[in-house]
Chain A
Amino acid sequence: MELTTVWFGLIAVLWAGYFLLEGFDFGVGILLPVLGRDDRERRLLINTIGPVWDGNEVWLLVAGGATFAAFPEWYATLFSGFFLPLLIILVALIVRGVAFEYRGKRDEAEWKRRWDLCIIVGSLVPALLWGVAFGNIVRGVRLDADHEYVGGFFNLLNPYALLGGLTTLVLFTLHGAVFLALKTGGEMRERAGALAARLAVPAIAVAGAFLLWTALAHHDAAGWALSAVAALSLVGAALATRVRREGWAFLATAATIVLAVFALFVTLFPNVMPSTIADANSLTTTNAASTPYTLKVMTWVAVVFTPVVLAYQGWTYWVFRKRLTVEHIPASPIPVSPAPAGAATEAR
């Protein structure tokens, strides 16, 4: 297999991994006002992803970095072309990341309310916009002969891409609810499970419509197959949430997300960013790629280090595998004991 194809596949894996992992982070953030009825419950929700969200987000940075290294033309066209949506995503990820760390650092209700808002909006907006971005990539955008995007901001908001955005939004929300049913105990587990069961139906409708539209528009056999399995898996998730098989439900939503990403990438191949102006303007795995030498170096790096990363990241999930309940959440996040004034008499 050509190294360019290998790297196209690896980038698909990185995005799939990112959406699989940060997908439930986003879902938890989005569901904060729905499932977290008081401060302690909201803290319970945030703490289910506390130790892992940052590691999950690194998948995005590596996906971006790998695209830069393996397909610089793709990276350059995509990031400069989708400038404003990416700026919005950046702002969302910034306020969200800070919010997790800073929310519990003061006790005032207003302080917490503001950071909660940052978490909610900071999760909802990227969950929507990533789908819009990928919808546009698969649909094709206006690229000129220099591979520059010339379509403007509002052309990105077409019905197909918006349906893509809605798809990631509902899928990640469902994935988050399923994750919470798996990771919490007591009443929260019940409520998250019930919500997941309710969310599964619209998720099937929205994601099914998007995958069908994609498949009909592109007539790609492998894309059809992957889309079908993704849809089936989502139906499986719906059934599992009804009978409260939380582990199976999580596996099923995870599989849906991964398979849907693969379906999009397979449909895209061998393009990485098709042009709607002229086929000759499209970016492909060949004309967007780095040199074979760079790809070879990067392949070695990936082959050696990816298993290590997967092992320790997986281990983290094992360490924090226990279900959390509100009883686990200590009264104040960090007890701050003011330093006793004039405590110089302390033992030396």
Chain B
Amino acid sequence: MDALDLARWQFGITTVYHFIFVPITIGLSALVAGLQTAWYRTGKEHYLRATKFWGKLFLINFAMGVVTGIVQEFQFGMNWSDYSRFVGDIFGAPLAIEGLLAFFLESTFLGLWIFGWDRLPKRLHLATIWLASIGTLLSAYFILAANSWMQHPVGYEVNAETGRAELHSIGAVLTNSTTLVTFPHTVTACFLTAGALLLAVSAWHLRKGNQDQVFRPSLKLGAWVVLIAGVGVLITGDLQARIMTEQQPMKMAAAEALYDTSKPASFSLFTIGSLDGREEVASVRIPSLLSFMATGSPSGEVEGINNIQQQYAEKYGPGDYAPYVPVTYWSFRLMIGFGALAMAIALAALWLTRRGRTPANRWLWPAAIATVAMPLLANSFGWIFTEMGRQPWTVFGVFRTAESGSPAVSTGEAATSLIVLTLLYGVLAVVEVGLFLKYAKAGAPEIEPPADDTDDADRPLAFAY
């Protein structure tokens, strides 16, 4: 393994890991803000208890998202310096804007929210969590604009003299058609993730008969969010597939391991075999589905890997332009499968708990609790699919992964970094999950009667580290 392979492993590991915490942050901040709004409007105590309970889990998660995010910001320069030199003129702008507009907003207002319970008027305190939540969404937009530019570069020209990409239209970069479908797809997936978290933790408590007043509404909220967000994920995913077919036909072909151009093209639920287009042992196929996903028409033509490879070899010169197909094929299916499974369980949970029922159903509760992992897996496979499916390019059609690394970084340094960060992330995962379970199991806190407002100078803080 050379430094480039190590850098790729590090990027994969740290990014997938970072994106465990990000969707929970994005989805849960809005749900907590919603619960706090419900309390603010109705004054019902169980909403406040729910706000505090989910808020606490949110913060345990948020800390990890923040610190793993610093690595993301640094490693473009550390491990991908030639990439950074090539794209900096374009790619750096959304990153810097993300910091200025989004990171400041979420960190500052979250600090105010955490410590401001007894410092700010209720209404203003409510506004802080909403602003933090808006910050997370803004952050998602700009970073996805940067990523979308790698999938579908727009608004730029390559300067022949310097050999670098140069920005010509920031408007084009920020309204990239890829961004416009990727953002809603990602954000709905974030809500699906947070909804599943509510569903799973609430199910754990309801099964035990704990705090019904807090966790029944939370379970319903979580399940509804999973369903509604799930429908959003499906619709936006469908749009994305069509845009992807247009912009990166190789990725669509690799998603199906479709080697020869077909009209209509079927979609296989699974395949037993080597996926290299030679020896398929068995597969279960839905006729015309791939045509529909790729083109919107059940009889549409979908180009195959071999045909696209031929075109690309003519266009970009000799080389292998297909991604590693087993990864794209399976990650695409696992993404869809885990997302769909979470939706099915949410639907079952809603039905079985309708009108105050608490069924003694043997499989519902374990399934509902397991739902927490499904969107996390679906998200990870989605990113693995879209990033691996873009290979051999970092910027599709423009800049190759092979030329993106850091010449100044030795294999030993890259290996050190990969090992240190992986071990550290591993230890932190154990700590994080431990704390998360402890606080999830502890249930919603009792609300202490409000302290008298006569003199607050010496009263202990409502919240302290």
Contact = CB atoms under 8 A, between A and B. Distances in A.
A108 B79 CA distance: 39
A55 interface: yes
Contacts of B260: none
Given A51-B114, A83-B413, A328-B460, A293 B63 contact: no
Given A80-B77, A320-B119, A328-B458, A62 B103 contact: yes
B464 to A, nearest CB: 5
For the complex, would chain B's binding face be called helix, strand, loop or mixed by DSSP majority? helix
Contacts of B417: 83, 87
Contact of B81 (A60, A66, A80, A294): A80
B451 to A, nearest CB: 11
A69 B95 contact: yes
Given A72-B85, A149-B408, A339-B210, A79 B63 contact: no
B406 A80 contact: yes
A214 interface: no
Given A76-B81, A80-B81, A302-B100, A319 B119 contact: yes
B98 A65 contact: yes
Interface stretch (B86-94, B346-354, B392-400): B86-94
B56 interface: yes
B431 interface: yes
Contacts of B445: 334-337
A319 B213 contact: no
Interface string A331-344: 10111111111111
Contact of A76 (B68, B69, B77, B116): B77
Interface string B371-386: 0000000000000000
B213 A94 contact: no
Contacts of B438: 105-106, 336
A6 to B, nearest CB: 14
Interface residues of A, number: 90
Contacts of A347: 213
Nearest to B166: A291
A98 B63 contact: yes
Given A301-B100, A319-B119, A50 B464 contact: yes
Contacts of B114: 50-51
A93 interface: yes
B107 interface: yes
Nearest to A321: B119
A288 to B, nearest CB: 9
A62 B420 CA distance: 25
Interface string A261-301: 00000000000000000000000000000110110011001
Contacts of A65: 73, 92, 95-100
A54 interface: yes
A158 interface: no
Interface centre among B81, B90, B358 (most CB of A within 10 A): B81
Contacts of B435: 102, 105-106
A138 B63 CA distance: 34
Given A83-B409, A87-B420, A309-B104, A301 B97 contact: yes
A337 B442 CA distance: 6
A68 B76 contact: yes
Contacts of B109: 312
Interface string B208-244: 1111110010000000000000000000000000000
B78 interface: yes
Contacts of B63: 97-98, 100-102
B115 interface: yes
Contact of A55 (B64, B88, B111, B211): B111
A78 interface: yes
Contacts of A47: 461, 464-465
Contacts of B458: 327-328
A34 interface: no
Contacts of A301: 93, 96-97, 100-101
Contacts, number: 295
A75 B76 CA distance: 9
Given A328-B461, A339-B210, A80 B112 contact: no
B104 A58 contact: yes
A309 B104 CA distance: 7
A96 B242 CA distance: 44
B99 A61 contact: yes
Contacts of A52: 111
Given A65-B99, A291-B89, A319-B116, A58 B107 contact: yes
A95 B114 CA distance: 20
B180 interface: no
B443 A83 contact: no
Given A64-B74, A87-B416, A337 B446 contact: yes
Nearest to A84: B413
B465 A55 contact: no
Nearest to A75: B77
B88 A73 contact: yes
Interface in A35-82: 43, 46-47, 50-52, 54-55, 57-58, 60-62, 64-73, 75-81
Contacts of A69: 88, 92-93, 95-96
B97 A312 contact: no
Interface string B438-465: 1101111110000000000111110111
Contacts of A87: 78, 416-417, 420-421
A146 to B, nearest CB: 7
Interface core residue of B104, B168, B444, B465 (most chain A CB under 10 Å): B465
Contacts of B431: 98, 102
Contacts of A57: 66, 70, 107
B464 A101 contact: no
Interface string B293-325: 000000000000000000000000000000000
Nearest to B64: A98
A342 B99 CA distance: 47
A347 to B, nearest CB: 6
Nearest to A339: B443
A55 B398 CA distance: 37
Given A65-B96, A84-B416, A305-B101, A316 B112 contact: yes
A327 B460 contact: yes
13 contacts: A61-B99, A62-B96, A65-B100, A73-B85, A76-B84, A77-B408, A105-B435, A294-B89, A306-B100, A309-B108, A319-B112, A329-B460, A339-B444
- 4 smallest CB-CB distances across A and B, nearest first, come from A72-B88, A79-B77, A339-B443, A69-B92
Given A72-B84, A73-B88, A320-B115, 5 more contacts: A61-B69, A66-B96, A291-B89, A343-B212, A346-B212
